[in-house]
Structure 1
Amino acid sequence: MAESAGKDWRVSDAPSENWVYRFLPRGLWPYAQLARWDRPIGWQLLMWPCFWSSALAANVAKAEHQFYLPLFVFHLFLFFAGAVAMRGAGCTWNDLADHDIDAQVARTRSRPLPSGRVTRFQAKLFMAAQLAVGLLVLLQFNTFSILLAISSLLVVAVYPFAKRFTDWPQLFLGLAFSWGALMGWAGMFGTLSVAAVLLYAGAVVWTIGYDTIYAHQDKEDDALVGVRSTARLFGSRTKIWLWRLYGATFVAIAASFALAGVGAAAYLGLLAAAAVLVWQIVVLDIDDPVQCLALFKANGRVGALVFAGLVLALFFLPG
């Protein structure tokens, strides 16, 4: 499958009907693949904690008669653009760091670097361009938010190497991928709060959970090349761990909502999201890589449901 993917310039784990392959010139495909534009679930999962935090802060601002709808909408646009750019830069960095490993794993050897369709120098230039877009987005925020974002760069840089020295690389992913749960609040108020930190904690354990499901796709290849993961660590106890992780997600986010004083609609959205998480655990077959990928992608709906509840709560508030 990887060989045929290389011949038509696609990668083995991306949908062939994606807009990248329908609208972009073939010469741009390798760069779109480096940024994972053909797999949008990644930037969506990076974006949702940003959106949650921004909507949570908007609820508080409206209750305090400080809400300004155009600013909220502008922040959502910035977080969307930033998520696409920074997820792409992060994936490019990850591929540079994992160049040799990806060449040994069936699912990843058709990617642009191990297949030779992009050089390391070209990949670095492309990463720099994406980082420049991310910086442009970041500079639209207040000084506190800019410094807060910069403070995340260490964990972002370490993440691709975590699989080499810990069984918990998903924790490092969660710490990096969930940073937006702090950024939305910081962008609105120029400070942090306990509510925002609890939202971040909930997003971190959610990320560990869904990426554990994702990692079960590669566990056999990972074992052969010595890559560590929570999928390999948990093994047959994965469902037990997912109950713990997703349970902690629900508790942390509900506590965040309670501290922020959001309305009932937010809790309805959270309950709907929790139902999707429970469904993932119940039906999960860790030995079915196709199903693991589908359940991983279902977390896009989890993010959307939590955000929808917060938006409904916001517009049901008086004032």
Structure 2
Amino acid sequence: MQVLSTSATIPYARQRGNFNYRTYFENQASIRRTHAQPLQQKFLPVLKPGQLCWQQNLERFLISNYSGCTYYLMSFLIFASGCVSNDLADINYDRKVERCKTRPLVSGEITPVQGWLFWAFIISLLIPLVLQLNKLCIALAAVEQVLWLAYPLMKRVTYWTPAFLGLVQSWGATLGWAAIKGNLNDVGIFLPVHIAGICWTMVYETIYAHQDKNEDEEAGVKSIALLFGDSTRTWLLGFATICIGSLMFAGYNAHMGWPFYLSMIPAFGHLLWQTYSVDLSNGFDCFSKFRTNKWFGSIVLAGMVLGRIVY
């Protein structure tokens, strides 16, 4: 494996971990890893339900407090809180991974107390947004925060941490549906979207995990890259297939128009391209492929919008 050098990854490491009060206002985009993970990977799971139920609930969707701006802001804050709590829990592990050694918590630039205070600050911004929603959404949002706090612990007990991450990150599909519809009756729509999100996460997080597989093995981290090993591409193909199949099933139940199904062709092609072109022994290439998932998200989102317009 080509190990990422510290000097080459200092900017990236700071983007992922720098939530110091002193630097917050200087680099707001970096503080929540907005450069480490593209917008579409954070925002798409909570936007999907709005597009799927657009036809029957357009007026309600437009006037709802859970509008597009609130969708983005909530997903942004939830993701940020999860990144902060993850780095706080992983201080000792990060000391053993070369590209993580420059993160402020590991280097001592900030203290764990400062980190938890910033996590509390993010939650204080999130609560007023959540309280605008119905009781079901408030309960789902509370569960999501518990899941985010539990996420860093998963790598201590299971190799399937990316699956748990997919469950958490795609929770917005269920939350968004409950916000717009007010119930969880249409299981045939929001649940396949959630499953698709989990499988999509398995694809890009497995590729991402191959960056650190050698160091993870030395540190005793249960990495999905170590579990799959030489069979990684076979697993990725399986997850990609389930992802697209689940999206199409949800689209069928939501009566999406033909552009949505047409968009599934380039979407699946993008996942196949990642699967068979990535050099799993090259950390830089793994991260590069991980970053391209913003295009997958864009394709699916465009397909949903056009699938509603044409319907």
Same fold, judged at TM 0.5 (above): yes
CA shift, 1:78, in A, is 1.0
Q: What amino acid maps onto 1:285 in structure 2?
A: D
Mapped partners of 1:217, 1:274: distance in 2: 24
Structure 2 residue runs of 5 or longer lacking an equivalent are none
Structure 2 residue aligned with 1:46:
42
CA-CA distance at 1:136 after TM superposition: 2.1
Query: Partners of 2:264 and 2:253 in 1: how far apart?
Result: 15
Counterparts of 1:1-319 in structure 2, within 5 Å, are 1-2=5-6, 10-12=11-13, 14=15, 26=23, 28=25, 33-41=30-38, 44-62=40-58, 67-68=59-60, 70-71=62-63, 75-192=67-184, 193-194=186-187, 195-317=189-311
- Cα deviation for residue 210 of structure 1 reads 1.1
Gaps of 5+ in 1: none
CA contact (8 A) 2:61 2:67 kept: no
SS of structure 2 residue aligned to 1:113: helix
TM-score of the two chains, using structure 2 as the length reference: 0.89
Provide the aligned C-alpha RMSD in A: 2.5
How big is the shift at 1:31? 7.6
Aligned equivalents of 1:92 and 1:144: distance in 2?
26
Distance of 1:167 and 1:48 partners within structure 2:
26
* Structure 1 residue 33 displacement after superposition: 4.6
Mapped to 1, the partners of 2:176 and 2:24 lie a distance apart of 36
DSSP-derived class of the 1:118 partner: coil
Given residue 263 of structure 1, which amino acid in structure 2 is its aligned partner? G
- Structure 2 Cα separation of the partners of residues 171 and 315 of structure 1: 33
**Aligned-pair distance for 1:4?**
7.9
Find the residue that maps to 2:245 and give its secondary structure.
helix
In structure 2, the CA distance between the partners of 1:27 and 1:259, relative to structure 1 (3 Å rule), is closer
Q: Deviation string for 1:212-236 (max 9, x for gaps)? A: 0111111111011011121110011
Q: Give the 3 Å change call, closer, same or farther, for CA 4–272 of structure 1 in structure 2.
A: closer
- 8 Å CA contact 2:12–2:36 kept in 1: the answer is no
Calculate percent identity across the aligned residue pairs. 30
